[in-house]
């Protein structure tokens, strides 16, 4: 020993209390520095190894003894706590955001100042809070570490960090220089917007730079609706459909309920008329489309129609409606064949005729919706038909659009860039390089411009070609405003200050324009004041922010008159089926149901979502009918090459019965090359998810291309779907068919009206469900009826398969993402899944969606087999999980007949900082490479690690919160509707209800007692607390399928469902019937 040790100034035992203190804390560091002048991490000079070892071992020995306490936690309160803030308690703030072309009226739940969960604003008069999966998932995008942090610019070919101050200086100079010649060298490329403040600033931009060129590019919106509305009304208007006023709805190539800017509101309104038990007449939905869309699955009658024939069908329909309105009458014949037994031409004929009759019979309360895909002419014809039927102002209303400066289309825009006369381009969001059509080389055009400025959230495809990359603030962290499609003005209120130094479009525009006011809060407040006649008091402003809307800030529908022409859309007659030719495939391009136009590619929740109908995750597929596949010589999972001109894309084939023959549907938005760690990035080495179809999606056919070439490829790939597509032998198929009523029960409205007991009657087995013993929960229900018993009901009539509930559950319960490889092994972790069942055959199929979550069985098979009692039943009927007890036997998942239990095969939460062993400590959150993302976790719910089983808990954290709130108010009983699960709140159609089944007046009790209610696999006597309400289709008698007719006959003849000797009482399912269940 060469140096004597000096005595430490603080008593030694203070430092040795825990091993952590030993390792990391500042006191220890300070001590070390005092003792040993060299830094603690180096081997200190001047002290012998022996002495060092003595010191360390002494500390370890002492530390070990007393280090068995939990890690010391510090409490760091505010210095000044904001008034009214309750640390750790949730707070709610409204906001109205514009996202993915839709307007959402939201109420965001936050905790300790950070937003955690998105809900709808129930009190909002426009949508009642209806929203969809994009709104639910956007919270993950807020905490995405791949977002661009801080301003960057390109200097000498390399990306260099910069700052807003730098940019503002440069922009100020540019602005002045450009103004000199009226902005002739300035072009602006932006997404369309419904924000009045943005519109005002853009107008100011135009007035400051009158020679500048604007382009509003939207990958998904071809402007057909607005164009058509202009033609028929003479005004700049947008059509809005009040579907709760419509008894007949006809969608022609329009996915009204999920793929439409007003989808959520439309779904809500439509669902109000889907209750067959209510007094009001149930509506009838007709759909004619090429692909199988979620709207098509909800149709009461659906016609698979190649989109090339859609205009002809519409023209034919117009003719017939006009004839019927004029008093024409005709015979229909005996019509002995059922709808699905007809061949294509006859089917089309009967469909159009029945539809025409229905529309005329219910004129004034019907809606004809023509999809934008068919072009402005067709949409205008649809609006014209609505007018002829007297639907205007009752069902179809027109509201003013939000004005934008005059603009050119993308092609002209790029042409202008190519001239070399442009000096500055300002790109405001939208990632146009990734979403531009294949024949427009926007990237190269941008490269030519000396000053290219991109305001975007990510360092994406567009950012790669621009000089300035400005971080765009997420809608949840921006001030702004929007007007809903039906005229309600609302403020976008930030839930948190910009996390990554982002700024909103309002700020950037205001600064560029040199506006006197650049604070977005003030800009928006000024707009609100303007709309209220000049000023807005503090009280009114705060009320507007608190409520999310103000009735005085609503616009009335426009007073319109029909000024369109009466020229028929086309003289051609519609054909029921087209000739199948591999050189003339009709390709429908539709936005990805999970990624939209690709902007959500880095959102892990959306990537891993099982897309409605195909149930594909992480990629896109080419969907076609079995006949088409055969004609192309491909089959499921084989690659097919689609070619247009010189460009070819290869996609895996997905065979789906019910698609029109000769039609291939592909989703765009996948296959991005610079999305981020999740979505794929060549630069970062992250695998690309899916295939980009932009090469064959050219500007003249962005949504529909007739005449694509398709060729088979010899490669077979595995497609990561969550509901498998097995081929099954005929005997298996038969047996499955017979038992399909265990899962899904369906009937027609006529059947329900004549035989309301048909749902129970469908059962074939005759035994009575009896138990040998009574479960404790049953005793509790009997002896203590005052204890609330939680139950849920899911209405299959209303579920549209949009999957908002799946994302909501993931958001609320910290459900992890597993990645594509694990999905291939059936290890996806979604607590709530949506099964879809095909009924029919290869040629004619109908679909039912069934959301499945833990059924919370009273006689739970999982509870009985857990060796360590990790899953127990609460006194209130919830099947609960104690994650810490679980040892990972997986017997419970094995025993569950519904296969709703999910096992953490790996530590899927590792990226959030949940670790094991030496990684289990708080400070290791620093090493988690997605530290920002861990802010999205809900602190009310445990984060599960490896080896633990998890499943739906009926949002027990919300149930507890409801109980505690009732306790705070003196122990009052819990009111119905006070506790709502995440899935229930997210559902736009109110398909899910949850509550106390012991309360006879509760919504869920009424649904449990409804004639349509049944239990899935009820004969197993597990007594699930989830009831399903059978699907009832309001199908026109002339359009009933053979199975539907047979059902009527069966029940009319007094038989119930028939006996188990093969007599068909339930709709067919055949070789292509999708199987439920997970292994």
Partner 1 sequence: MQRFLFPRWVNRLVVLLLVGAAGGVAYASVLFLGITDPNTLNTGYRPEQPVPFSHAIHAGQLKMDCRYCHNTVFDAAHAAVPPTATCINCHSPAQADGTTALAAVRADSPKLKPIHESWETGKSVAWTKVHNLPDFVFFNHAAHVNAGVSCVTCHGRIDKMDVVYQAKNLSMAWCIDCHRNPEPHLRPTEFVTKLDWQPSEDPAVMGQQLKQEKNIRPQTNCAVCHR
Q: Is 880 in the site for partner 1 (CB under 8 A)?
A: yes
Using CB under 8 A, pick the residue from 1, 9, 13, 88 that binds partner 1: 88
Give the count of beta carbons closer than 10 Å to the beta carbon of residue 423: 17
Contacts of 423 (CB under 8 A, 6+ apart): 177, 178, 185, 186, 449, 450, 451
Contacts of 1034 (CB under 8 A, 6+ apart): 276, 282, 283, 284, 285, 300, 748, 749
Q: Restricting to residues 48-67, which ones interact with partner 1 according to CB under 8 A?
A: 65
Shortest distance in whole angstroms from residue 75 CB to partner 1: 4
Which residues, listed in sequence order, are joined to residue 455 by a DSSP beta bridge?
A: 428, 470
Assign 3-class secondary structure to 723-787.
CCCCCCCHHHHHHHHHHHHHCCCEEEHHHHHHCCCHHHHCCCCCCCCCCCCCCHHHHHHHHCCCC
Which residues, listed in sequence order, are joined to residue 369 by a DSSP beta bridge?
A: 251
Specify the DSSP element, H or E, that contains 109: strand 102-111
Residue in the block written with tokens 């104690």: 882
DSSP one-letter string for 626-661: HHHHHHHT--TTEEEEEEETTEEEEEEEEE-TTSPT
Q: Is 25 in the site for partner 1 (CB under 8 A)?
A: no
Q: Is 9 in the site for partner 1 (CB under 8 A)?
A: no
DSSP one-letter string for 873-942: E-TTS-EEE-GGG-----HHHHH-TT---EE-SS-TTGGGT---GGG-SGGGGGT-TTGGGGGGS-TTSP
Give the count of beta carbons closer than 10 Å to the beta carbon of residue 128: 19
Q: Is 27 in the site for partner 1 (CB under 8 A)?
A: no
Distances in Å between the alpha carbon of 121 and those of 102, 548, 986, 1069? Answer: 15, 8, 11, 41
Using CB under 8 A, pick the residue from 318, 858, 940, 1046 that binds partner 1: 940
By C-beta, is 50 or 968 nearer to partner 1?
968
Q: How many residues bind partner 1 (CB under 8 A)?
A: 48
Shortest distance in whole angstroms from residue 67 CB to partner 1: 10
Q: Is 805 in the site for partner 1 (CB under 8 A)?
A: no
**C-alpha 865 chain-centroid distance:** 36
Q: Is 125 in the site for partner 1 (CB under 8 A)?
A: no
Shortest distance in whole angstroms from residue 821 CB to partner 1: 30
Q: Is 166 in the site for partner 1 (CB under 8 A)?
A: no
Diameter of the chain measured on Cα atoms: 115
Q: Is 941 in the site for partner 1 (CB under 8 A)?
A: yes
By C-beta, is 4 or 88 nearer to partner 1?
88
Shortest distance in whole angstroms from residue 1028 CB to partner 1: 25
Q: Is 875 in the site for partner 1 (CB under 8 A)?
A: yes
Q: What three-state secondary structure class fits 1034?
A: coil
Q: Restricting to residues 566-585, which ones interact with partner 1 according to CB under 8 A?
A: none
The stretch among 182-190, 591-599, 622-630, 950-958 that binds partner 1 (CB under 8 A) is 950-958
The stretch among 30-38, 45-53, 363-371, 954-962 that binds partner 1 (CB under 8 A) is 954-962
Shortest distance in whole angstroms from residue 64 CB to partner 1: 10
Q: Is 740 in the site for partner 1 (CB under 8 A)?
A: no
Q: What three-state secondary structure class fits 81?
A: coil
Which residues, listed in sequence order, are joined to residue 1033 by a DSSP beta bridge?
A: 748
Q: Is 14 in the site for partner 1 (CB under 8 A)?
A: yes
By C-beta, is 691 or 974 nearer to partner 1?
974
Q: What three-state secondary structure class fits 572?
A: coil
Shortest distance in whole angstroms from residue 81 CB to partner 1: 4
Q: Is 68 in the site for partner 1 (CB under 8 A)?
A: yes
By C-beta, is 89 or 559 nearer to partner 1?
89
Contacts of 69 (CB under 8 A, 6+ apart): 17, 18
The stretch among 413-421, 444-452, 486-494, 957-965 that binds partner 1 (CB under 8 A) is 957-965
DSSP letter, residue 392? B
**Per-residue mark of binding to partner 1, 612-651 (x: CB under 8 A):** ----------------------------------------
Q: Is 822 in the site for partner 1 (CB under 8 A)?
A: no
The stretch among 291-299, 345-353, 512-520, 934-942 that binds partner 1 (CB under 8 A) is 934-942
Dihedral of the alpha carbons of 533, 539, 543, 546, in degrees to the nearest 10: 130
Q: Is 13 in the site for partner 1 (CB under 8 A)?
A: no
The stretch among 297-305, 457-465, 712-720, 970-978 that binds partner 1 (CB under 8 A) is 970-978
Residue in the block written with tokens 């001047």: 46
By C-beta, is 764 or 853 nearer to partner 1?
853
Contacts of 302 (CB under 8 A, 6+ apart): 286, 287, 288, 289, 296, 658, 846
Using CB under 8 A, pick the residue from 1, 75, 731, 918 that binds partner 1: 75
Q: Is 973 in the site for partner 1 (CB under 8 A)?
A: yes
Residue 884 token pair: 């810490």
Using CB under 8 A, pick the residue from 37, 87, 707, 867 that binds partner 1: 87
Using CB under 8 A, pick the residue from 190, 401, 874, 981 that binds partner 1: 874
Residue 1051 token pair: 């029940």
Q: Is 770 in the site for partner 1 (CB under 8 A)?
A: no
Find out whether 1025 and 877 touch, Cβ atoms under 8 Å: yes
Q: Is 957 in the site for partner 1 (CB under 8 A)?
A: yes
The stretch among 210-218, 279-287, 383-391, 935-943 that binds partner 1 (CB under 8 A) is 935-943
The stretch among 155-163, 498-506, 951-959, 1071-1079 that binds partner 1 (CB under 8 A) is 951-959
Q: Is 970 in the site for partner 1 (CB under 8 A)?
A: yes
Q: Restricting to residues 89-108, which ones interact with partner 1 according to CB under 8 A?
A: 89
Please give the Cα distance from 58 to 735 (Å, whole number). 72
The stretch among 70-78, 517-525, 625-633, 708-716 that binds partner 1 (CB under 8 A) is 70-78
Please give the Cα distance from 989 to 993 (Å, whole number). 11
Shortest distance in whole angstroms from residue 69 CB to partner 1: 6
Shortest distance in whole angstroms from residue 16 CB to partner 1: 14
Task: State how beta strands 647-655 and 680-681 pair.
Answer: unpaired
Using CB under 8 A, pick the residue from 830, 873, 951, 1005 that binds partner 1: 873
Please give the Cα distance from 383 to 234 (Å, whole number). 13
Q: Is 956 in the site for partner 1 (CB under 8 A)?
A: yes
Q: Is 45 in the site for partner 1 (CB under 8 A)?
A: no
By C-beta, is 970 or 1062 nearer to partner 1?
970
Q: Is 497 in the site for partner 1 (CB under 8 A)?
A: no
DSSP one-letter string for 134-187: HHHHHHHHHT-TTB--S-EEEETTEEEE--HHHHHHHHHHHHHHHHHTTTTTEE
**C-alpha 751 chain-centroid distance:** 34
Q: Is 86 in the site for partner 1 (CB under 8 A)?
A: yes
Find out whether 196 and 402 touch, Cβ atoms under 8 Å: yes
Shortest distance in whole angstroms from residue 942 CB to partner 1: 6
Q: Is 766 in the site for partner 1 (CB under 8 A)?
A: no
Please give the Cα distance from 243 to 270 (Å, whole number). 5
Which residues, listed in sequence order, are joined to residue 370 by a DSSP beta bridge?
A: 252
Please give the Cα distance from 497 to 518 (Å, whole number). 16
Task: State how beta strands 622-624 and 638-644 pair.
Answer: unpaired
**Per-residue mark of binding to partner 1, 881-920 (x: CB under 8 A):** xxxxx-----------------------------------
Contacts of 977 (CB under 8 A, 6+ apart): 995, 1003
**C-alpha 474 chain-centroid distance:** 17
The stretch among 496-504, 598-606, 876-884, 925-933 that binds partner 1 (CB under 8 A) is 876-884
Using CB under 8 A, pick the residue from 7, 50, 69, 782 that binds partner 1: 69
Find out whether 547 and 217 touch, Cβ atoms under 8 Å: no
Write out the residues near partner 1 by the rule CB under 8 A: 14, 65, 68-70, 72-81, 86-89, 786-787, 872-876, 878, 880-885, 940-942, 953, 956-957, 960, 963-964, 967-968, 970-973
């Amino acid at each position: 020993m060469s140096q004597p040790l000096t005595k430490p100034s603080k008593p030694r035992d203070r430092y040795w209390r825990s091993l952590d203190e030993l390792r990391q804390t500042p006191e220890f560091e300070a001590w070390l520095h005092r003792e040993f002048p060299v830094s603690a991490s180096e081997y200190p000079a001047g002290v012998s190894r022996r002495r060092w070892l003595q010191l360390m071992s002494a500390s370890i020995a002492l530390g070990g003894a007393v280090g068995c306490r939990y890690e010391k936690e510090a409490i760091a309160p505010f210095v000044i706590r904001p008034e009214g803030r309750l640390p750790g308690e949730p707070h709610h703030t409204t906001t109205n955001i514009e996202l993915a072309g839709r307007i959402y009226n939201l109420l965001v739940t936050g905790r300790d100042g950070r937003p955690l969960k998105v809900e709808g604003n129930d009190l909002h008069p426009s949508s009642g809070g209806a929203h969809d999966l994009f709104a639910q998932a956007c919270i993950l995008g807020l905490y995405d570490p791949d977002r661009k942090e801080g301003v960057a610019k390109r200097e000498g070919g390399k990306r260099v960090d910069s700052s807003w101050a730098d940019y503002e200086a440069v922009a100020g100079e540019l602005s002045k220089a450009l103004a000199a010649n009226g902005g002739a060298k300035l072009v602006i490329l932006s997404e369309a917007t419904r924000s009045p403040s943005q519109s005002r600033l853009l107008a100011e931009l135009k007035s400051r730079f009158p020679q500048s060129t604007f382009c509003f590019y939207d990958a998904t919106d071809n402007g057909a609706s607005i164009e058509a509305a202009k033609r028929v009304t003479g005004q700049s208007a947008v059509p809005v459909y009040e579907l709760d006023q419509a008894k007949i709805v006809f969608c022609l190539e329009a996915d009204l309920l999920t793929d439409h800017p007003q989808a959520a509101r439309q779904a809500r309104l439509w669902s109000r008329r889907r209750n067959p038990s209510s007094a009001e007449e149930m509506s009838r939905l007709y759909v004619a489309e090429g692909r199988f869309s979620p709207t098509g699955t909800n149709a009461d009658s659906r016609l698979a129609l190649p989109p090339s024939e859609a205009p002809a069908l519409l023209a034919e329909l117009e003719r017939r409606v006009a004839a019927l309105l004029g008093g024409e009458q005709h015979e229909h014949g005996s019509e002995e064949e059922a709808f699905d037994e007809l061949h294509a031409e006859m089917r089309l004929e009967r469909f159009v005729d029945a539809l025409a009759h229905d529309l005329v019979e219910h004129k004034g309360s019907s809606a004809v919706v023509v999809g934008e895909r068919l072009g402005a002419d067709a949409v205008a014809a649809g609006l014209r038909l609505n007018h002829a039927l007297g639907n205007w102002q009752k069902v179809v209303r027109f509201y003013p659009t939000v004005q934008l400066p005059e603009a050119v289309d993308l092609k002209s825009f790029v042409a202008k860039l190519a001239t070399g006369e442009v000096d500055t381009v300002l790109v405001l969001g939208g990632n146009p390089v990734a979403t531009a059509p294949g024949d427009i080389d926007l990237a190269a055009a941008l490269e030519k411009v000396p000053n290219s400025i991109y305001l975007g959230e990510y360092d994406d495809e567009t950012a790669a070609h621009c000089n300035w990359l400005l971080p765009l603030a997420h809608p949840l962290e921006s001030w702004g405003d929007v007007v809903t499609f039906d005229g309600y003005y609302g403020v976008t209120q930030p839930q948190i200050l910009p996390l990554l130094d982002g700024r909103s479009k309002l700020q950037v525009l205001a600064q560029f324009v040199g506006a006197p006011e650049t604070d977005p809060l003030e800009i928006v407040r000024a707009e609100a004041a303007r709309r209220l006649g000049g000023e807005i008091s503090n009280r009114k402003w705060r009320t507007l922010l608190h409520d999310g809307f103000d009735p005085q800030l609503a616009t009335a529908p426009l007073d319109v008159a029909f000024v369109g022409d009466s020229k028929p859309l086309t003289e051609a007659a519609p054909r029921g089926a087209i000739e199948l030719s591999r050189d003339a495939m009709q390709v429908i391009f539709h936005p990805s149901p999970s990624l939209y136009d690709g902007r959500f590619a880095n959102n892990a929740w959306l990537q891993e979502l099982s897309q409605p109908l195909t149930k594909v995750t992480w990629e896109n597929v080419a969907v076609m009918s079995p006949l088409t596949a055969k004609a192309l010589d491909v089959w499921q999972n084989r690659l097919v090459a689609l070619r247009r001109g010189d460009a070819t894309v290869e996609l895996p084939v997905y065979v789906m019965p019910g698609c029109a023959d000769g039609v291939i549907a592909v989703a765009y938005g996948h296959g991005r090359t610079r999305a981020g760690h999740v979505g794929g990035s060549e630069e970062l080495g992250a695998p690309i998810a899916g295939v980009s179809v932009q090469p064959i999606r050219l500007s003249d056919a962005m949504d529909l291309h007739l005449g694509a070439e398709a060729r088979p490829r010899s490669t077979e790939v595995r497609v990561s779907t969550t509901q498998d597509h097995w081929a099954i032998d005929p005997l298996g198929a038969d047996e499955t068919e017979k038992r399909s009523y265990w899962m899904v029960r369906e009937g027609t409205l006529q059947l329900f009206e004549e035989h309301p007991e048909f749902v129970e009657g469908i059962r074939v087995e005759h035994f009575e469900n009896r138990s040998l013993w009574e479960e404790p929960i049953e005793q509790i229900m009997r002896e203590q009826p005052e204890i609330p018993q939680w139950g849920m009901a899911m209405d299959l009539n209303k579920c549209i398969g949009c999957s908002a509930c799946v994302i909501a559950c993931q958001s609320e319960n910290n459900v992890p993402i597993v990645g594509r490889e694990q999905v291939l092994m059936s290890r996806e972790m979604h607590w709530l899944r949506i099964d879809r069942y095909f009924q029919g055959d290869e040629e004619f199929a109908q679909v039912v969606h069934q959301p499945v979550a833990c059924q919370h069985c009273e006689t739970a098979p999982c509870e009985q087999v857990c060796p360590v009692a990790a899953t127990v039943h609460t006194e209130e009927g919830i099947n609960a999980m104690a994650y810490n007890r679980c040892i990972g036997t997986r017997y419970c998942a094995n025993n569950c007949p519904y296969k709703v239990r999910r096992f953490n095969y790996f530590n899927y939460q590792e990226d959030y900082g949940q670790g094991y062993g030496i990684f289990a400590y708080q400070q290791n959150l620093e090493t988690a490479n997605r530290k920002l993302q861990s802010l999205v976790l809900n602190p009310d719910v445990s984060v599960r690690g490896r080896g633990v089983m998890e499943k739906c808990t009926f949002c027990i954290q919300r149930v507890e919160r409801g109980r505690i709130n009732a306790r705070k108010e003196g122990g009052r009983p819990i009111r119905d509707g006070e506790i709502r699960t995440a899935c229930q709140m997210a559902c736009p159609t109110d398909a899910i209800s949850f509550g106390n089944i012991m309360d006879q007046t509760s919504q869920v009790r009424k649904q449990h007692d409804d004639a349509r209610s049944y239990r899935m696999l009820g004969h197993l006597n597990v007594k699930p607390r989830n009831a399903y309400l059978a699907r009832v289709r309001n199908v026109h008698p002339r359009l009933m399928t053979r199975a539907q007719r047979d059902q009527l006959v069966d029940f009319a003849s007094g038989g119930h469902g028939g006996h188990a000797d093969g007599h068909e009482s339930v709709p067919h399912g055949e070789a292509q019937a999708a199987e439920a269940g997970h292994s």
